[in-house]
A and B are shown apart, each in its own frame.
Chain A
Amino acid sequence: AQSVSQHNHHVILSEAASLELGCNYSYGGTVNLFWYVQYPGQHLQLLLKYFSGDPLVKGIKGFEAEFIKSKFSFNLRKPSVQWSDTAEYFCAVNVYSGAGSYQLTFGKGTKLSVIP
């Protein structure tokens, strides 16, 4: 079964610092990749997604992610974080298993705390 690994459980940054959150997956076939964000007490919101084409994907709120197929990675980046980026971030992989069947698997999440 495919798995999704997020390397950091909790990241603490000061405002204006650069952010990179790691995500690796274990499936070798075609994948769709997602980053979701969950602000405190709220539900998951889609941050960005990759289906095909340009491996550098830009999302909302200045976030971007790069798909590196050879490394099975989809790391999330932001050049300069803000206090309002404090949230939990989830990487997810949607694997096409044929005959119209798909499975979305989530990583365990990375909590980001931004210090003003």
Chain B
Amino acid sequence: NAGVTQTPKFQVLKTGQSMTLQCAQDMNHEYMSWYRQDPGMGLRLIHYSVGAGITDQGEVPNGYNVSRSTTEDFPLRLLSAAPSQTSVYFCASRDRRWGGAGKSQETQYFGPGTRLLVL
């Protein structure tokens, strides 16, 4: 398995440009998510998806769109980039196993990240 893959690794945009960050996983995980990482802020959830055709907003969704047409892919779109979106973006997918008393045990695995600079 390749795990979680992301492209591109690095990107420089000008304010107002649009782009799509790609994310794919080959582990047949239903749950996928996008985070941004900023110094001193930890990781903050942008959007997530619990399965193909289903997406929802996380903590910091403004300025980003997502779609989930297949289980494998979960692209993140910036429609009009702003300098505040300069960050490192991580995609993740979640493995779910069932433990005792019907409670799930979920472990999240991360992609290598995309460094985005918006000028």
Contacts and interface: CB of A to CB of B under 8 A. Distances in A.
Interface of B: 31, 33, 35, 40-45, 50, 90, 94, 99-100, 103-113
A74 interface: no
Interface of A: 9, 30, 32, 34, 36, 42-46, 49, 51-52, 90, 92, 94, 96, 100-104, 106-109
Nearest to A42: B112
A106 to B, nearest CB: 4
B107 A49 contact: yes
Contact of B110 (A43, A49, A51, A107): A43
- Secondary structure of the B contact surface, majority rule: strand
Contact of B43 (A49, A100, A106): A106
Contacts of A30: 103
Contacts of B90: 43-44
A54 B116 CA distance: 41
A52 B45 CA distance: 25
Nearest to B40: A108
Contacts of A42: 112
B23 to A, nearest CB: 12
